[in-house]
């Protein structure tokens, strides 16, 4: 599998299972309706675990532009590869969200609350305060990337060019626990995007697919889950 394919498929699976658990918990009439925040955080953690398992041997399982940019800034990933990885991640995120819509289409059609529908695609603040929301995304992503960079540093050898450095360096089970921990402890303010590809592609899919009662895609907020994770990633690269 090529690195592009691995990042595309890994990010698609991440969003399919991650947005999928939100849809299962929040959309009207599903078997998991109203299962709660613990189920969502566990589902996202297992989504990361699955995506890392699939892509780690081929691309290092970045599956997150923040990871790719942090590794490049830290000197453990070639800048020349960054555009390829970012394209794969954003396309994979959109593809995963599209499949979630197909999978849960009947339940999307039955759901009337606009915020609930958007929340199954993209993140949003519990209390809208853009600067505070941005800070929350910076801090959450900082924790994730610091763990990834620490693991990558421990794995590097004189033949580092042969090593696929990314979230796979941390290990599928540890990175899943890191994401679960971030969700449980820091996710209540913004929904912890901590990944620009987790938000931008799915938000675009929300804007394009036909869903009754879907309302706006809230593009006015969309910069927060993009800029926040990037800043948090670069901060982690700087202090690592």
| Per-residue pLDDT, 172 | 85
| Per-residue pLDDT, 151 | 74
Half-sphere exposure of 55 (CA within 13 A, CB side): 32
Which residue in this structure is represented by tokens 């592609």?
Answer: 201
| Per-residue pLDDT, 230 | 98
Per-residue pLDDT tens digits of the chain, which is 240 residues long: 899 999 999 999 999 999 999 999 999 999 999 999 999 999 999 999 999 999 999 999 999 999 999 999 998 899 999 999 999 999 999 999 999 999 999 999 999 999 999 999 999 999 999 999 999 999 999 999 999 888 766 555 544 444 578 887 777 888 999 999 999 999 999 999 999 999 999 999 999 999 999 999 999 999 999 999 999 999 999 998
Question: Using H for helix, E for strand and C for coil, what is the string for the chain?
Answer: CCHHHHHHHHHHHHHHHHHHHHHHHHCCCCCCCCCCHHHHHHHHHHHHHHHHHHHHHHHCCCCCHHHHHHHHHCCCCCHHHHHHHHHHHHHHHHHHHHHHHHHCHHHHHHCCCHHHHHHCCCCCCCCCCHHHHHHHHHHHHHHHHHHHHHHHHHHCCCCHHHCCCCHHHHCHHHHHHHHHHHHHHHCCCCCCCCCHHHHHHHHHHHHHCCCCCCCCCCCCCCCHHHHHHHHHHHHHHHHC
Class of domain 3-239: mainly alpha
Helix 65-73 × helix 82-103 angle, to 10°: 160
How many other C-beta atoms lie within 10 A of the C-beta of residue 172? 17
| Per-residue pLDDT, 116 | 98
Q: Where do the domains of the chain lie?
A: 3-239
Alpha carbon distances (Å) from 46 to 30, 43, 140 = 20, 5, 18
Alpha carbon distances (Å) from 211 to 45, 69, 180, 215, 233 = 28, 34, 30, 9, 34
* 69 vs 9: CA distance, rounded Å: 19
Report, in angstroms and rounded to the nearest whole number, the Rg of the chain calculated over CA atoms: 17
| Per-residue pLDDT, 58 | 94
CB 7 within 8 A of CB 89: yes
* 137 vs 205: CA distance, rounded Å: 22
| Per-residue pLDDT, 171 | 79
């Amino acid at each position: 599998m090529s690195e592009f394919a691995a990042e595309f498929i890994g990010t698609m699976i991440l969003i399919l299972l991650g947005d999928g658990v939100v849809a299962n918990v929040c959309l009207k009439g599903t078997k998991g309706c109203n299962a709660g925040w613990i189920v969502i955080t566990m589902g996202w953690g297992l989504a990361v675990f699955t995506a890392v398992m699939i892509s780690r041997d081929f691309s290092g399982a970045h599956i997150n532009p923040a990871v790719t940019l942090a590794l490049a800034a830290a000197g453990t990933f070639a800048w020349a590869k960054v555009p390829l990885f970012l394209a794969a991640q954003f396309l994979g995120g959109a593809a995963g969200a599209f499949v979630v819509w197909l999978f849960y289409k009947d339940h999307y059609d039955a759901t009337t609350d606009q915020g609930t529908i958007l929340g199954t695609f993209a993140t949003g603040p519990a209390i809208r305060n853009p600067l505070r929301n941005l800070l929350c995304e910076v801090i959450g992503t900082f924790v994730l990337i610091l763990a990834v960079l620490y693991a990558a540093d421990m794995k590097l050898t004189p033949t580092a060019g042969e090593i696929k450095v990314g979230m796979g360096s941390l290990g599928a089970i540890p990175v899943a626990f890191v994401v679960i921990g971030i969700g449980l402890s820091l996710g209540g303010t913004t929904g912890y995007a901590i990944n620009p590809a987790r938000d931008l592609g799915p938000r675009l899919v929300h804007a394009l697919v036909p869903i009754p009662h879907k309302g706006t895609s809230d593009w006015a907020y969309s910069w927060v889950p993009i800029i926040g994770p990037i800043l948090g990633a670069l901060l982690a690269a700087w202090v690592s």
